[in-house]
Amino acid sequence: MEIPPTNPLEYLGRFASRLGCNDETERRARDLVEDATEASTHSGKHPVGIAASALYAAGKLTGEDLVQREVSEATDVSTVTIRNRYRELLTVADVD
């Protein structure tokens, strides 16, 4: 029986590849996940939703054109979850 990864960082590379994200967006998404982990915002949240939302948020921050629906389809996470986690991530993120 295979156990899925519990760390959102473990999903980022695969999701970024599916979405065709550039390196800057993927790096920014990793920073967002790390900020959320330090603030314990990720606690009790599904790691896939955190990873998907981090990529969406990173795309917005870096100017990469990622649409919620595309992120949702590539990650199998609902747009509602992406929106909710997006807000939570930006609340705790060290956004410059």
**Rounded mean pLDDT of the chain?**
90
| Residue 18 lies inside a defined structural domain of this protein | yes
Residues 24-28, mean pLDDT to the nearest whole number? 97
Count of domains observed in the chain: 1
Report the C-alpha gap between 48 and 57 in whole angstroms. 14
Report the C-alpha gap between 74 and 19 in whole angstroms. 7
| Residue 4 lies inside a defined structural domain of this protein | no
Q: Supply the pLDDT for residue 29.
A: 97
For 35-46, the pLDDT digits (tens) are 988 877 666 678
For 61-88, the pLDDT digits (tens) are 999 999 999 999 999 999 999 999 999 9
**Residue range of the domain that includes 76:** 9-92
